[in-house]
Every structure is written in C-alpha cells, then in structure tokens.
A and B are shown apart, each in its own frame.
Chain A
Amino acid sequence: MKQLLETSSNSISGIAGEETQKFHFCVSLLLLAMLWVMPLWVVAGEAQPMADDPVLEKRVMALSAELRCLVCQNQSLADSHAELAQDLRREVRDLMKSGKTDPEVVEYLVARYGDFVRYRPPMNSATALLWFGPLILIVGGGIVLLITLSRRRKRIAEVTPLSDAERTRAAMLLNNKVNDGAGENRA
C-alpha cells in the first residue's frame, strides 16, 4: 500500500513517474493474466482423474462417497485431496476395471483398514449398541411415560368424590361465572 502511494505521487511529479506507471501497468497486466489462467489450471488438475470411461468414474465416485478417507477422517474418499485418498481411488478404479463388484471393493478396503473406512458401520457385536441404542431409548422412554401416566390416572381416580352440597355449590359458582362471562362479552 505504501509503495502504491509512492508511485502514484511519483507519476504526478514527472518522467520517473511515467516509467513506474508503465511498470505498474505491466505488472497489473501480468497479474490479470495469472488470475485468468489460474482457474483453468486448477480445473485441469481436478478433472484429471476423470478417466477415459465416464461410467466407471461415476461408479468410483459413488462408492468413494461411502468410504472414509483415513488421513482427514471427516471427509469421504471422494471429497478428499489427500494423496492416500487419490491412491485409494486409483485402487478402487483398478479393482472395478478388473470386474470386482462394489461389495468386493469395500471388502478389499475393510481387510486393510478395518470397518473404520465405511461410513455406514456394519452390524456386529461391537456396533450393536450404535444400531439399537436409539430404539432401546425410545422404547424405554415410552414405557416410563406409560407407567407415569397410568399412575397419575390412578391417583386422580383415588381422590374422594365431592359431596352433594359441594357439587351444588360448584355448579352455582360455575353457572354464575358463565353468565358473567357471557354478559361481559355482549357489552
């Protein structure tokens, strides 16, 4: 920024300024050119794995989205740019080319990296709680709720009923109230 200000003041003051202005123009041109070229470069880099066979590539990417990258564990193999992820995608591609089915490819990776590579954990003794935990919670919660409700209902039923005198007084109070309310509404 400081340099920028200096050159602009130079350009006002004469020939030396003209030189720097020219230089400045060239630099901006170069930067603009780089800005224009850079996205192309990046796109070229990303598009590269799109092999000769787009159908196969689609299959590779679909399966990779189901697999975890072991380097950056919150990313799938499809999203990750880690070198290992690229290698594993290459491996998946080669296996598919040799006619392996999707489950066979997953099995190949699980044999090397464990169930951890799958985003959908398989059902076994170690993951049973993961699969059935929510079900246990909701069933348990429902049972507790039902017990509490039935207990409360019993408690309400156990309350001694009103005597006749209390009942007539209650009815009178209620009627008055209703009448009063209606009157107010009309007014």
Chain B
Amino acid sequence: MWRYLVPLGAFLALAVFLWMGLGRDPSTVPSPLINKAAPEFRLAQLHEPTQQIGRADMLGKVWLLNVWASWCVACRQEHPILMELSRTRLVPIYGLNYKDKREDGINWLAQFGNPYVVSASDIDGRVGIDYGVYGVPETFVIDRQGIIRYKHIGPVTVDALKTKILPLVKELEKT
C-alpha cells in the first residue's frame, strides 16, 4: 500500500506547488517598503518648477503616489481610469513624473488630462530608486502617517481599484 501512496503523495505535492507557480507573475517583485515609512523627497513641481513638493506636505491624509512618464505606453492605458478616479474625489492622486522632460510631461497632461493634484519632477530618477520603482507605471497607497500600505505594479485597472485600492483607502481613512 505505502509503495503506491508515497509516490502519489509526492507527485500531488509537486503538482500543487507547480500549479501555484503557474498563477504567479514573475515580473512583479514584492516591495520591501510595504508598511514602512515612505522615503522622504523634495522635488520641483512639474507645473511650477520654482515650488517644491515633498512627502511631508501630504502628512495627515491618505494619498496615492502614481509614478508616470510621457514615454510610458502603459501609462496611457491607465490614464482614463486615473481621470475617472480624480473626478470621484475619493482620494487625492499625486504624480511622480519619472525620468521625463518637463515639457514632455506637461504636454502629455495637456493632451490627455491631468488627474494629479500636483506632479513632482523626478528628472534623474533618484526618488524613483528610493521608492523601489523598476517599471512605470507604479502606484503607492500612503496613509496619514506617511507609511506605504500598498504598491500596485503596472497599470491601475478598474478591478484593482475596486477590490484592493479603494477599500484600503477607505479603511485607512477611518484611522
């Protein structure tokens, strides 16, 4: 009896692990920054380069940090969803204009609409590195204390908003 059950059990265990592996996206790397303080930054604003914006300015409210660039194709895909989200006023979206030319970023927003309260210009990508950005777009949910609670890699989808981001925002706003 054992000589059949043991190999069968081993096979089933292997099959379960491999099956789980199939469903996982190897391109999404879990961020070590979740539940840690969002890195401090101070950058020129995209539209008003003489004025700066930083993490400290958003303390006290729950906000989204959306990393975008005019050269990023997937950003166009998520853009209408961000526009829609900004219209609902459920949560303020701040942009991190990652490795972009200033004019390109401004033109892009003029063409497709601007869902951001403010965008910060991260021209050399250093703040992006501090946030562990490795592909654009990425979206962070940051709570009142300035702690990163969630990171969405890739374009924001309606599904991700409904099932993950907005419920989390709602919960964080209660505290």
Contacts and interface: CB of A to CB of B under 8 A. Distances in A.
Interface string B28-71: 01111100000000000000000000000000000000000000
B96 to A, nearest CB: 14
Query: Which residue among A70, A88, A113 has the maximum number of chain B CB atoms within 10 Å of its CB?
Result: A113
Interface residues of B, number: 17
A130 B23 CA distance: 20
A91 interface: yes
B76 interface: no
A112 B132 contact: yes
Interface stretch (B81-89, B108-116, B123-131): B123-131
B129 A114 contact: no
Contacts of A32: none
Contact of B134 (A91, A113, A115): A113
B102 interface: no
A127 interface: no
Contact of A73 (B26, B32, B130): B26
A71 B134 contact: yes
B131 A112 contact: yes
B135 A113 contact: no
B99 interface: yes
B32 A87 contact: no
Contact of A84 (B31, B32, B124, B134): B134
A24 B129 CA distance: 51
**Residue of B32, B99, B124 ringed by the most chain A CB atoms within 10 A:** B32
Nearest to B34: A114
A111 interface: yes
B175 interface: no
B27 interface: yes
A83 interface: yes
Contacts of A88: 129
Interface string A101-124: 000000000111111100000000
B154 to A, nearest CB: 13
Given A70-B29, A87-B125, A112 B99 contact: no
Contacts of A84: 125, 134
B55 to A, nearest CB: 15
Contacts of B125: 84, 87
Contact of A114 (B30, B124, B126, B131): B30
Interface string A56-90: 00000000000000110100000000011001100
30 contacts: A70-B29, A70-B134, A70-B135, A71-B134, A73-B26, A73-B27, A83-B99, A84-B134, A87-B124, A87-B125, A87-B129, A110-B32, A111-B32, A112-B32, A112-B33, A112-B129, A112-B130, A112-B132, A113-B29, A113-B31, A113-B32, A113-B132, A113-B134, A114-B30, A114-B31, A114-B32, A114-B132, A115-B32, A116-B29, A116-B30
Interface of B: 26-27, 29-33, 99, 124-126, 129-132, 134-135
A-B complex: 5 closest residue pairs judged by Cβ atoms: A70-B134, A112-B132, A114-B32, A116-B29, A113-B132
Given A73-B26, A112-B130, A112-B132, 5 more contacts: A84-B125, A87-B124, A111-B32, A114-B132, A116-B29
Interface of A: 70-71, 73, 83-84, 87-88, 91, 110-116
